[in-house]
Amino acid sequence: MGRSASNLQINSARLWDSIHDTAKFGGTAKGGVRRLTLTQEDRQVRDWFREASEAAGLIVQVDALGSMFALRKGRDTSKPPVGIGSHLDTQPTGGKFDGVLGTLAALEVVRTLNDAGIETEAPLCVVNWTNEEGSRFVPAMMGSAAYVGNFTIEDILSHKDAEGVSVGAALDAIGYRGEVPVGRQKLSAFVELHIEQGPILEAEGKTIGVVDSGQGELWYDGRIIGFESHAGSTPMPLRRDALVALSEIVLAVEEIAKRHAPNAVGTVGEAMIATPSRNVIPGEIAFTVDLRSSDDAIMQALDGDLRNALTEIATRRNVETSLELVWRMPPTHFDPTIVKALENAANTLGYSWRRITSGAGHDSCNLNTKIPTAMVFVPCRDGVSHNELEDASQADCTAGANVLLHTALALAKIAS
Amino acid sequence: MGRSASNLQINSARLWDSIHDTAKFGGTAKGGVRRLTLTQEDRQVRDWFREASEAAGLIVQVDALGSMFALRKGRDTSKPPVGIGSHLDTQPTGGKFDGVLGTLAALEVVRTLNDAGIETEAPLCVVNWTNEEGSRFVPAMMGSAAYVGNFTIEDILSHKDAEGVSVGAALDAIGYRGEVPVGRQKLSAFVELHIEQGPILEAEGKTIGVVDSGQGELWYDGRIIGFESHAGSTPMPLRRDALVALSEIVLAVEEIAKRHAPNAVGTVGEAMIATPSRNVIPGEIAFTVDLRSSDDAIMQALDGDLRNALTEIATRRNVETSLELVWRMPPTHFDPTIVKALENAANTLGYSWRRITSGAGHDSCNLNTKIPTAMVFVPCRDGVSHNELEDASQADCTAGANVLLHTALALAKIAS
């Protein structure tokens, strides 16, 4: 890379303007964005993205599930492009940055290269993946999952939202059922910039998170059957209180995650007493458990530790418990070469950085199963995401986009 | 008491028939009873009770809140009668014994005395108190509470059910707004037979519980405010998980009750996560606490221990908590003379017995604030009550009625 490229920086004001320009599509009174996938608001932002890409000289193609690929040619047209991007759909009460930052920063990368008159050896491809959020249609990360072959297209097209509208009908309704077969647009690598959606970078005062892994996830549905009885007339030693048993399980989940610190988290997010009453001992509770780690051996240990804890608590408390694993995703180990390129970029640009694990799922986790992939994180305020209050600073977003720029250049190489 | 009286036993078959005869008023498919206070089903059982009482030679009077007083004259008409009885209303999915046993056993006592030709010095009065259960109208134990002066009659008459029907209108609708001013029918004592509604007698193989006390109750509404955040991307040390804090509170309530064993119970009966989601750390939970003891000093200690535990947990867990005492009932200490008479009766009849504390509230707890009062318990299967499966054996019901008979005779005295 020559001197001019090593000093290259994206246009911070233009990136910031793009983020705020698109935030009006589905913008909420509280400053957030409600832009569920394949709705009219999603069509608006897709149209904006297509026009802006074409204005930047990119060739936009849409696949059969609506994922958008905006191609910038390289000198060597035989090479598959380096993919950069994210998604433009949001949660029902989402923010302005989740997904949007990664997609518009990728657009800003090619705009910056255009301004500097830089040609790359390999092409670049800015991608907007369909339905990352999964709020309207399951599964989440639909476009990227289908891209790597996890589902058939016929299956995905038939999935319906709460109103009974299928993915296929929704694509047709907004004119984004494309002609490119899913998976046809090859990519040699993929790099995604995203807000952290957690508090670590902010807490440690780091600007850049070089994401070397994504947590695996274990999702369970559990049930406790104790015995519902009178809160006044049932002595403490004769109780079979389902809520007391649940409380021990909740604390066991926390203890198990801490036992495998720092590379594990565990959460009971839902707990519902069957017939709650202030003067009745709870007899039955349904609950969920979410366990995550980026380490395969720890994943195994978390599962075993949880099952052992439930058995011990159920026996000692004289209650029945059941536990069903309803979903499992293995840990993601991002590509070491791209991770190294991200570190180099952060060093070149002089940003403080740390390696980090993604706690949330991303399209990149799907893509990494087939394509060398990695991610870069920037801090978000208070770690808040999936919330209209989601916020990130212009300086941090700019830093992330600069790391994306220099990593893309390192992968695609400047034409000499 | 002469030889004939000391051998006197109630007519077990007649008592059992009465219980099952009245169970048809509001009888359910599952063998339970749904007979909410002042409904047409309640009118039916009241009419039955009035006719049966009059057939037994009793004079039935009804007070302004519908409580029914069936008087059997004594030799000394200047003496206030000894009251015996309970209530005939049930929970929405109640059983055949709660309240019914005590009222119909009292009727059986006077039928037995009639059969034996025994006259007492003081009169006897069989009482059916209005709205013990509190399922349709608050407060529970309404008739007895008003009788001892805890409420004005105007206040009580204006209370409305979920459909907006007032107590006054409901009394008029079934023809049971009586002419006797509430509290006018004086009683020299009150004795109530009831199923235990708990598992102690059954667990210990005792036939009779001589109830010397009733637990005081402390009811609280609590709230925990933590911080809702992403279950994947929030490290364990940075969490402010409201459910983890609740779990420590639930276990603290149990520990506090056990610390004051055996004379305390503590229960968290309701706990509701504000916006539960399997991959979100719970940010807010509302919960209730129910603490009970029959010992005034322990009641004080329970309250202090709970508040200290909440403060400690909230500080350590970095969450906000609030706790509001929404109801308080002091412990009941039943009349030692009547308690002794119950023990004497159980001994005379050769029943196994133990002293016991009532965990639940009863009309007797109200009456004891003004009139010497005590209760006698018989076992119920598995301690189950407020349930269509509520069950008690004919032998135990008969034993309880015999203890009631001999205690009433000891208090009213056989005319010599």
The residue with tokens 């706790």 is B323
In the predicted model, what is the mean pLDDT of residues B199-223?
A: 96
Q: What is the pLDDT of residue A14?
A: 98
Contact B271 A276 (CB under 8 A): yes
Burial code of B372-384, b = ≥16 C-beta within 10 A, e = fewer? bbbbbbbbbbebb
Contact B271 A268 (CB under 8 A): no
Task: Name the residue among A230, A238, A271 with its Cβ closest to that of B385.
Answer: A230
The residue with tokens 């893509």 is A367
Contact A385 B230 (CB under 8 A): yes
B406: left (phi over 0), alpha (psi -120 to 50) or beta: alpha
Q: What is the pLDDT of residue A3?
A: 40
- Cβ-contact B92, B26 below 8 angstroms: no
Q: What is the pLDDT of residue B2?
A: 45
- In chain B, DSSP finds a helix count (H) and a strand count (E) of 13, 16
Same domain (yes/no): B288, B406: no
Contacts of A297 (CB under 8 A, 6+ apart): none
Residues of B in contact with A98 (CB under 8 A): none
Backbone angles phi, psi at A290, to 5 degrees: -125, 115
- Cβ-contact A301, A205 below 8 angstroms: no
Same domain (yes/no): A364, A237: no
Confidence of residue B93 (pLDDT cuts 50, 70, 90): confident
The Cα–Cα gap between B261 and B79 comes to 42
Same domain (yes/no): B262, B348: no
CATH number, residue B169: 3.40.630.10
Q: What is the pLDDT of residue A293?
A: 97
The nearest CA of chain B is from the CA of A46 a distance in Å of 28
Same domain (yes/no): B124, B184: yes
Nearest CA in chain A to B241: A267
Residues of B in contact with A95 (CB under 8 A): none
Q: Evaluate if pTM is beyond 0.90.
A: no
Q: What is the pLDDT of residue A44?
A: 98
Encoded tokens for B288 = 């209730």
The nearest CA of chain A is from the CA of B344 a distance in Å of 25
Same domain (yes/no): B106, B37: yes
Q: What is the pLDDT of residue B5?
A: 75
Please determine, for residue B310, whether its predicted confidence score (pLDDT) is greater than 70: yes
Q: What is the pLDDT of residue B1?
A: 44
Picking from B133, B278, B292 by the largest number of A CB atoms within 10 A of its own CB, the best residue to mutate is B278
Picking from A97, A141, A217, A247 by the largest number of B CB atoms within 10 A of its own CB, the best residue to mutate is A247
Question: Percentage of residues in chain B with pLDDT exceeding 70?
Answer: 99
Q: What is the pLDDT of residue B119?
A: 97
Q: What is the pLDDT of residue B347?
A: 97
End position of a domain, from candidates B305, B329, B353 = B329
Encoded tokens for B298 = 């322990």
The Cα–Cα gap between B1 and B213 comes to 28
More confidently predicted of B22 and A275: B22
Same domain (yes/no): A17, A66: yes
SS3 labels along B77-123: CCCCCEEEEECCCCCCCECCCCCHHHHHHHHHHHHHHHHHCCCECCC
Q: What is the pLDDT of residue B138?
A: 85
Q: What is the pLDDT of residue A2?
A: 45
Contact A229 B383 (CB under 8 A): yes
Same domain (yes/no): A177, A86: yes
The Cα–Cα gap between A246 and B249 comes to 12
Alpha helices in A159-241 (DSSP H): 167-174, 200-204
The Cα–Cα gap between A60 and A40 comes to 20
Contact A254 B261 (CB under 8 A): no
Contact A383 B234 (CB under 8 A): yes
Contact A234 B359 (CB under 8 A): yes
Contact B198 A261 (CB under 8 A): no
Nearest CA in chain A to B380: A233
Same domain (yes/no): A136, A200: yes
Residues of A in contact with B258 (CB under 8 A): 236
What is the domain extent for residue A241?
216-329
Q: Classify residue A80 by its DSSP letter.
A: P
Q: What is the pLDDT of residue B3?
A: 39
Same domain (yes/no): B163, B309: no
End position of a domain, from candidates B271, B298, B329 = B329
Domains identified in chain B, total number: 2
Distances in whole angstroms, Cα of residue A15 to Cα of each of A118, A123, B199: 19, 21, 70
Same domain (yes/no): A17, A91: yes
Task: Name the residue among A199, A241, A262 with its Cβ closest to that of B234.
Answer: A199
- In chain A, DSSP finds a helix count (H) and a strand count (E) of 13, 16
Question: How confident is the prediction along chain A (416 residues), in pLDDT tens digits per residue?
Answer: 444 577 899 999 999 999 999 999 999 999 999 999 999 999 999 999 999 999 999 999 999 999 999 999 999 989 999 999 999 999 988 999 999 999 999 999 999 999 999 999 999 999 999 999 988 998 889 999 999 999 999 999 999 998 999 999 999 999 999 999 999 999 999 999 999 999 999 999 999 999 999 999 999 999 999 998 889 999 999 999 999 999 999 999 999 999 999 999 999 999 999 988 888 899 999 999 999 999 999 999 999 999 999 999 999 999 999 999 988 989 999 999 999 999 999 999 999 999 999 999 999 999 999 999 999 999 999 988 888 889 999 999 999 999 999 999 999 999 97
Coil vs helix vs strand at A106: helix
End position of a domain, from candidates B267, B296, B329 = B329
Same domain (yes/no): B244, B307: yes
Contact B234 A360 (CB under 8 A): no
Same domain (yes/no): B359, B310: no
- Cβ-contact A207, A402 below 8 angstroms: no
- Please give the interface size between A and B, counted as residue pairs whose CB atoms are below 8 Å apart: 196
Contact B386 A247 (CB under 8 A): no
Residues of A in contact with B243 (CB under 8 A): 250, 268-269, 271
Antiparallel, parallel or unpaired: β B82-86 and B124-128: parallel
Contacts of A135 (CB under 8 A, 6+ apart): A36, A37, A89, A90, A91, A92
Contacts of B10 (CB under 8 A, 6+ apart): B105, B108, B109, B111, B112, B398, B401, B402, B405
Residues of A in contact with B248 (CB under 8 A): 247, 251
Residues of B in contact with A263 (CB under 8 A): none
CATH number, residue B222: 3.30.70.360
